[in-house]
Structure 1
């Protein structure tokens, strides 16, 4: 199975530029909003006061936001150094409170002086600063945890998609040798009998292999081409059995402009020919494919053969069931009835 490659970020420089842009856009929008409210509610604020209150102090708080977001959380909290993280955050909040109070002393008339000349005491201002700093630390922590969670979820989805793709490639790689093995056995039987239909059988096999090699590389193929592939396989089996092959194959509904995962149905038909009775005119292999309302209904029934049951007979059906689980989760139903004289498979897929 193909190894799962680590997640690679496309154009990391462009991604970083977009992140910086949206962060700048958010903070500029918030500052502009509060400046607008201030000018609307209080026409007495000067440009100097607006710059100090709505630009200088927000920039100080924003710097604490990113100090926690870019330095403290990655180096302490993410490494499970909880005590160190709590201590460095507490120390930073205290230092920021002292620093902002120092800035307030420089612009005392704007920051610390209120109406009627009342000066805000240090304790009141300091507690208010701690509360504001805690809000910014909380917001940066919430943003960091949220972004890391979404990133981890995306990485897990990408890894799961890569795993599923590798598993599907592995399952499909098993189909070709399995099918080729059975077909070559049939042609060998014809050649051994010196049958005149051997060249025609080889030509049919060539058409089948061309389809499998060149048209099954896409995730989905046209349903009509897939059904033509099944018809070619049935024709190959008829060549093998000659006039003794009896199969009732019907296709109903509109099969054009429909898509299906390639090589899903062949295993059921292979199983019917390999382990069933194909040369009994009273009990032909019955195969019906009906397409209606965006659903494909597949029905096949064969009379059971009691001889030549080799141990490898179930590989194809096991693979197709696994592929159905991967490709059509909750979009298919499969009913297999192994009765005394007949073997029946009914499959319904939402295309």
Structure 2
């Protein structure tokens, strides 16, 4: 909230409080008394509130000068009591007398102790307001810092995904080109479509699930091109709403891992990918036969990144299960969209 709006809001609140008490105090036809008691002395109490709120607390508490803060508050309360009594002496018939006929005179110490109590109350009120405001401001700053850290970390994880994927894809295309394969132009076209998606869509917070699935299909087709023999990959897609949104590049790591460390040439054990969307939940599964020869020192980068992204983007909203047997590797992800 900007400063002019804050000042205006405070003014409206205090004015409403003063008018309310004047209205209540003047019901017996004593408008003059109500104005003196609630306006003049109300303004003094408001001054105590803001002297403590705007000057004493920021000056002493921020520098941890607690003794100076306590002494300043005590001086404020005692000195304001003297000012109130001086003002009350000008309206002694209204303020310093009580009873049905105003016959009882209020002594200095009796009145002064009352001002000390009132001043202490407004000091307490302003201190509580100061701590509450500071807490909300600090909480807002903390959340902003957390969001900035989250955005920076997600950007870093994405930056790791893209070069990692590009490196593998270029290796595949290089292999095709080296063999003078007729599949090379098609592979370059598929890579172009994939890179367009990664550059244009992956910067969004979320994308349509159908676009992410299309991205996976292009990736799978690109991977198939590098196999001389037939490749065996099944992809079963079903669901009630493919227009649901998902964070981009979440699913690719599992599919990429299956091709890198699995066997795609065994018709009895194809790479099996299942995508099912039901009632706002995504059920995603990748199953592959493990290859004893296809090892990669950086094998954990993709899956570790996607796990971290899931923790950041979907805390408490996903279930990831990885079953690694001697021959079969099976990943299952259940995600609340």
Q: How does 1:304-315 map to 2 (within 5 A)?
A: 304-315=290-301
SS at match of 2:105: coil
For the pair 1:32 / 2:19, whether they are aligned, the reply is yes
Residue of structure 2 in register with 1:147 after alignment: 133
Residue of structure 2 in register with 1:67 after alignment: 51
Deviation (angstroms), 1:91: 1.1
SS at match of 2:288: strand
- Summarize deviations over 1:142-162 as a string: whole Å, max 9, x none: 000000001000000000000
Deviation (angstroms), 1:286: 0.6
For the pair 1:178 / 2:164, whether they are aligned, the reply is yes
Aligned length: 335
Assess if the C-alpha contact under 8 Å between 1:286 and 1:300 holds in 2.
yes
Structure 2: runs of 5+ lacking an equivalent: none
TM-score by length of 1: 0.93
TM-score by length of 2: 0.97
Assess if the C-alpha contact under 8 Å between 1:224 and 1:255 holds in 2.
no
Residue of structure 2 in register with 1:5 after alignment: none
SS at match of 1:241: coil
SS at match of 2:299: helix
Assess if the C-alpha contact under 8 Å between 1:275 and 1:309 holds in 2.
yes
Structure 1: runs of 5+ lacking an equivalent: 1-13
Residue of structure 2 in register with 1:187 after alignment: 173
Deviation (angstroms), 1:243: 4.2
- Summarize deviations over 1:199-249 as a string: whole Å, max 9, x none: 000000000001101122110011101100000000111111144210111
SS at match of 1:170: helix
For the pair 1:330 / 2:319, whether they are aligned, the reply is no
CA RMSD of aligned residues (A): 1.1
- Summarize deviations over 1:7-47 as a string: whole Å, max 9, x none: xxxxxxx611121122111111111111111122x22x143
Q: How far apart, in 2, do the equivalents of 1:270 and 1:255 lie?
A: 25
Residue of structure 2 in register with 1:260 after alignment: 246
Deviation (angstroms), 1:323: 0.3
Q: How far apart, in 2, do the equivalents of 1:236 and 1:107 lie?
A: 93
Assess if the C-alpha contact under 8 Å between 1:168 and 1:323 holds in 2.
yes
For the pair 1:216 / 2:202, whether they are aligned, the reply is yes
Assess if the C-alpha contact under 8 Å between 2:242 and 2:277 holds in 1.
no
For the pair 1:87 / 2:71, whether they are aligned, the reply is yes
2:234 to 241, 248, 261: 248
For the pair 1:158 / 2:144, whether they are aligned, the reply is yes
Q: How far apart, in 1, do the equivalents of 2:219 and 2:228 lie?
A: 14
Assess if the C-alpha contact under 8 Å between 2:161 and 2:302 holds in 1.
yes
1:341 to 324, 327, 333: 327
Residue of structure 2 in register with 1:109 after alignment: 93
Q: How far apart, in 2, do the equivalents of 1:242 and 1:228 lie?
A: 24
For the pair 1:21 / 2:4, whether they are aligned, the reply is no
SS at match of 2:283: strand
SS at match of 1:312: coil
Q: 1:141 to 1:85 in 2, by over 3 A?
A: same
